[in-house]
Chain A
Amino acid sequence: MSTIFSVFVFSFKSMFRNFKSAGIMFILPIVFMGVFGIAFGGETNSLDINIGVYEQDSIDGLNIQDTFKNVTDNSERLELNTVDYNSIKALEEDIKEKEIDLGLVISSSETMRPQFEISSLDSNLNSPIYKSIVSDIVTPISLGREAPVTSKTISSTTNSLTGFDFLAPGLIIYGLIILIPGVAVQFVEIEEKKQVLRYANSKIKGVELIAGSVLYYLAIGFIQIILLYLTALAFGYQASGNIFIASIPAILSLFFAIAVGILIASVSSKTTAASNVGTIVSIILGFFSGSFISGIGRALEFSIAGYQLQFNDILPTKWGTEAVQKILTNNRGLNDIQSELLILLISGVITLSISVFIYSNRKLKLANAA
């Protein structure tokens, strides 16, 4: 245990003594947060969405037009206008003609719950954002959590939400994803600087060395989460949930990111290569996990055997983003992210075990120092 702690302290000292280069991993996400905060938050950005509504089945006590009106009334920057339709055909026609931004078809499930189908034009770049906003409003209704809808319940959760409120959680996750190149470089250095000679000759075990470093990155990640959260608040993020609860899925996402970093190190022989590959991977991962574009996955839907899937469902960090969003933006509790936590835990443990195994067997070999 004390050996693991020594590695942990060693990593911290090395970071502080290279703060000029290490600082970038703290500063970059903070800058992103600020830029996105200015671009998508604040007064200047009023989001106008025209929603076409077609009620296939009529549902008692549901007046979705009122719900949207309530949201609009209680929000300074979001305007949800509804237009009623008599047929799906007419609705789809108007989506194509760009008369409306989204179509919302309401039907009734066997249990008499409302079901919603949101449709949009795939060529509209804003579609994912629109969809995510509308789906955040209607999903709780379909789940029966907040139905029948009253103006009060809705207004308390969606009061004046901005685009930034949907992006901030993804940017917090990005602050963790961006640690990947650093992880990769640190682990390649062990070979490149022949430190493996010192480690392999001593009594430290491979898992102890890796555990100490992972622990360090978890600590760094936690600091990162808090810094980004505070930055987001400063730029107008209207978080209604608890940051410490939101840290749980975030930290679990970090396990996956660290595993990816170690995996990159296992196949790189030079730190420059590890750094480049790590940077590219972290940008791609951030992109598809919804760090820069909220609801990107909805633009990448496909269905298999009747299941509606999104390409990025395979990325644990996507679930991390969604879980953080649910907690922080939508003020839900741990109960509501159980499935996300399970996915994150399982995928984190599996990828980390695989990468530790590959790294120990490929890199932590004395022969690599010869």
Chain B
Amino acid sequence: MHIKGQNLSKKYKSKKVVDSVSINLEPGKITAILGPNGAGKSTIIKMLTGQIKPSSGEVEIDKEKYSSFPSHLRSKLGIMPQEIVIWEDLNIQENLEYTASLYKIPKEQKTKTIEKIIKDLKLIPEIKTLAKNLSGGYQRRLNLAISIVHEPEVIFLDEPTPGIDAQSRILLMEYIEKLATQDNHSVVLTDHYLDQAEKISDYVYIIDNGKMITQGTVSELKSKHGQGNILQIHLSCNTQKDLEKYKKKFAKEFDNPTLHKQTISILVDNISTNLNKAIKIIESNNIPIYNLNVKEPTLEDIFILLTGKEVRE
């Protein structure tokens, strides 16, 4: 199933929370919709899946146009909401079985799929624990598990990994990647941790204040907005006056150095000449540093470059 949203807008009262956003969900690919809190990510997902009607714009499914997602195709979607919606009084096994029965999945297929999901999402240790007693990480895993028992063609994951430990997060991310690559599902995910999503996403939309700021594959975005590398100088002084003073020294030689906490970041094209230049500035001005490194710009760096603000302030 190939889903496209065209010029989707959503107004609440007079406030436009999504403003003419177009999104193309390539089959078999992982698409990320990224942006800060309140950007409109969940609203876009809800419009694409028929949970809310767009104020204007269209949803196109396999070249057919609809004013909102048609309900008869809904069981082909897997929707993992941002909130945890699980059957609290059932254990993990029962959660999966009950949800499967809601989708009227034949018994054999049901047993097979459930076994696979349990194995892939490593749910075995807590299989008999009531959902309401599960830890946050397991609840998230279960929230995902019951969203996909019916083997949907397109999977929507609204912030799959907030507030969970690194181990669970990695597990979920790897699993999401596997869903798209091995099982050939289309996956759409949202996140306000841009760096987390960029590792697994094939195509990225960055949203801010309901508007699309940029889109493309991660490498396209980097070559378009963040050509080169980021040179980071970590200062070991901490008065604001000193920090600003040292930043000015770099500003004489480089374009737009940014200061965040104790780190000065500079976007550079040629690493070796610029690294030398930076070291000279440090030596000649006796600037106290504790670390210096070069890294590829991340999507969060690009977000800062495009909007002049941090994703999470």
Residues of A within 8 A of B (CB): 2-3, 6, 10, 13-14, 17-18, 193-195, 197-204, 366-367, 369-370
Contacts and interface: CB of A to CB of B under 8 A. Distances in A.
A189 to B, nearest CB: 10
A2 B102 CA distance: 9
Contacts of B53: 367
Given A3-B101, A197-B81, 8 more contacts: A2-B101, A6-B102, A10-B87, A13-B90, A14-B87, A198-B102, A202-B102, A366-B50
A197 B79 contact: yes
Given A193-B85, A197-B81, A198-B146, A203 B102 contact: yes
B102 A3 contact: yes
B192 interface: no
14 contacts: A6-B101, A10-B90, A13-B90, A14-B90, A17-B130, A195-B85, A197-B85, A198-B99, A201-B79, A202-B75, A202-B102, A203-B103, A369-B81, A370-B52
B51 A370 contact: yes
B117 interface: no
Contacts of A366: 50-51, 71, 74
Contacts of A2: 101, 104
A6 B98 contact: yes
Nearest to B51: A370
Main secondary structure of the interface of A (DSSP, over half): helix
Contact of B75 (A203, A367, A370): A203
B283 interface: no
Nearest to B43: A370
Contacts of B130: 17
A194 B130 CA distance: 18
Contacts of A18: 89
B151 interface: no
Contacts of A194: 81, 83, 85
B150 interface: yes
Contacts of A197: 51, 79, 81, 85
A207 B50 CA distance: 21
B51 A203 contact: no
Contacts of B146: 198
B77 interface: yes
Contact of A199 (B46, B102, B150): B102
A370 B54 CA distance: 13
B91 to A, nearest CB: 9
A18 B88 CA distance: 11
A194 B53 CA distance: 18
A369 B51 contact: yes
B94 interface: yes
A362 B101 CA distance: 24
B102 A204 contact: yes
A201 B52 contact: no
Contacts of A193: 85, 88
A322 to B, nearest CB: 38
Contacts of B104: 2-3, 203-204
Contacts of A202: 75, 99, 102-103, 150
Interface of B: 46, 50-53, 71, 74-75, 77, 79, 81, 83, 85, 87-90, 94, 98-99, 101-104, 130, 146, 150
Contacts of B90: 10, 13-14
A13 B94 contact: yes
Nearest to B99: A198
A197 B86 CA distance: 10
A200 to B, nearest CB: 7
B244 to A, nearest CB: 46
A210 to B, nearest CB: 14
A286 to B, nearest CB: 28
B89 A370 contact: no
Nearest to B146: A198
A367 to B, nearest CB: 6
B51 A367 contact: yes
B77 A201 contact: yes
Contact of A14 (B77, B81, B89, B150): B89
The 7 A-B pairs with the shortest beta carbon distances in the complex, nearest first, are A202-B102, A6-B101, A14-B89, A370-B51, A17-B89, A204-B102, A370-B52
A370 B99 contact: no
Contact of A201 (B75, B87, B94): B75
A367 B43 CA distance: 12
B85 A198 contact: yes
A197 to B, nearest CB: 6
B81 A200 contact: no
A369 B158 CA distance: 14
Contacts of B71: 366
Nearest to A198: B85
A13 B71 CA distance: 30
Contacts of B89: 13-14, 17-18
Contacts of B103: 202-203
B141 to A, nearest CB: 16
Nearest to B132: A17
Contacts of A370: 46, 51-52
Given A13-B90, A366-B51, A370-B51, A200 B102 contact: no
Q: Which of A2, A18, A370 has the most CB of B within 10 A?
A: A370
A110 B263 CA distance: 108
Q: Which of B90, B94, B102, B103 has the most CB of A within 10 A?
A: B102
B129 to A, nearest CB: 12
A193 to B, nearest CB: 7
Contacts of A367: 51-53
A361 to B, nearest CB: 14
A194 B87 CA distance: 11
A256 to B, nearest CB: 28
A308 to B, nearest CB: 50
Contacts of B51: 197, 366-367, 369-370
